[in-house]
Chain A
Amino acid sequence: MEREIDITTLISDHPFTKDLPEEKRAELAKIAKITRFTAGQRIFEEGEVHKRIYLIVYGIVALYFYIPAKGEFRYETISSGELLGWSSLVEPFKKSSGAVAVENTLALSLDSDKLLRMMEEDKAFGHAVYKKLINVVADRLRAARMRLLDIYGGGG
């Protein structure tokens, strides 16, 4: 019971889920679990089919590509209040990059198959989640465009 209360509170506080209907937040709590990552721990690898999404409560996670002969290219961080792993909700459910915890990180981990079933069964809920997901993807796209600009390249 205590575990469920904690998870429900975290879901009610998290920016991605806090404005969803209360009964949906309660349902999400049933498919969520608290997950801890220690600094340096791999969360998923590029190309992996990974059926979980993560609501970061605190900590920092870096997204990266592995470049042969060069190593990891870490290009973005996800931190408290953000969603990690959007591609688990979009076919073919393969991770577009790897993820590694940079700091000790606490997250709510949600089973993405179960979440997709909830979205399928309740179209209004599904619509609400996809709208939020679009914002996550748009944020990542905006970040990628800003990196293309090389905004520190012109002196200062």
Chain B
Amino acid sequence: MVQQLAETELGLDAFTTSWYRVISKTRETPDTLTIRARPINGQALSFKPGQFNMLYAYGVGEVPISVSGDPSNRRYLEHTVRSVGSVTTALAGKRRGEYIGVRGPYGNGWPLEEAEGRDVAIVAGGIGLAPLRPAIYHIVHNRERYGKFYVLYGARTPADLLYKQELERWRGPLDTQFLVTVDRGDERWRGYIGVVTMLFKHIRLDPANTIAFVCGPEIMMKFTIVELKNQGLPEDQIFISMERNMKCGIGICGHCQLGPVFICKDGPVHRFSEISQFFGRREL
């Protein structure tokens, strides 16, 4: 019945897992790595920045993980996984040549077309940079389509920063203001120290012409939205990526329901004005 519903609505078998072979892994932080994998049947790869896949570790379970790679790359998929539970630990433990199941991509993604011609402010906290990385790639590859480009990124310590080599590369161009901060610096750290919201004092957004993409723990997003509003951004120009306990990926099981929306189907990216009354509510 559920299978039939999914086939009718989506025109595909949304529950079919495709098998991917792990081709490499990159250690990002002590507990986080990026898995690069290629489909064993040679199927075409396509996803929108901000979408997620259900990754399956055989015999252990399935978890939703955002696609974190370059959307213009059609050769392999990248997912950045933090080992926090049995499934993510099993996925992180996969060696080169071993298999992982992939179901998806699901969700809507970041509104990159709506942002064309406007300034874009990206704010990421911790592993929240992973779902935003494809959007950064897209904007960097299509820089002429966008106005001013700001990226604010915060992590606990320098060791907790993701994609360190790319951070260096992305910080180079003069047409991008890419600010990175950590909560605790050491004697080798040469950048800002303080939480990511403190970086707002270094930028001045044009509220009429800026779209903001925000991803991180909800507490971080809560205070980031306060700063964006302080700079004059209306709620309908702020987009956040929500995380909930997603299971089916297509809005049937109800595990990820937040008020009237299903995070997996209607999100994970939401215009803040559409969910602000539910955001941060204790009982939801």
Which residues does A use to contact B, with CB under 8 Å?
39, 60, 62, 71-77, 79, 81, 102-103, 143, 146-147, 149-156
Q: Is the CB of A152 within 8 A of B160?
A: yes
Q: Is the CB of A71 within 8 A of B219?
A: no
Q: Is the CB of B82 within 8 A of A155?
A: yes
Name the CB-closest residue of B to A40. Answer: B187
Q: Which of A77, A143, A149 contacts B219 (CB 8 A)?
A: A149
Q: Is the CB of A154 within 8 A of B218?
A: yes
List, in ascending order, chain A residues with CB within 8 A of B183's CB: 75, 147, 150, 152
Determine the distance from Cα of A75 to Cα of B21 in the docked complex, in whole angstroms. 43
Q: Is the CB of B190 within 8 A of A102?
A: yes
In the assembled complex, the CB of A96 is this many whole angstroms from the nearest CB of chain B, namely 16
Given A151-B216, A151-B220, A152-B126: A62 touches B243 (CB 8 Å cut-off): no
Q: Is the CB of B197 within 8 A of A152?
A: no
Name the CB-closest residue of B to A153. Answer: B217
Which residues does B use to contact A, with CB under 8 Å?
82, 84, 124-131, 154-156, 160, 181, 183-187, 189-198, 201-202, 215-220, 223, 243
Given A77-B193, A152-B156, A156-B217: A146 touches B186 (CB 8 Å cut-off): no
Q: Which of B181, B191, B219 contacts A154 (CB 8 A)?
A: B219
Q: Which of B194, B201, B219, B220 contacts A76 (CB 8 A)?
A: B194
Determine the distance from Cα of A77 to Cα of B183 in the docked complex, in whole angstroms. 10
In the assembled complex, the CB of B30 is this many whole angstroms from the nearest CB of chain A, namely 14
Q: Is the CB of B192 within 8 A of A79?
A: yes
Name the CB-closest residue of A to B130. Answer: A156
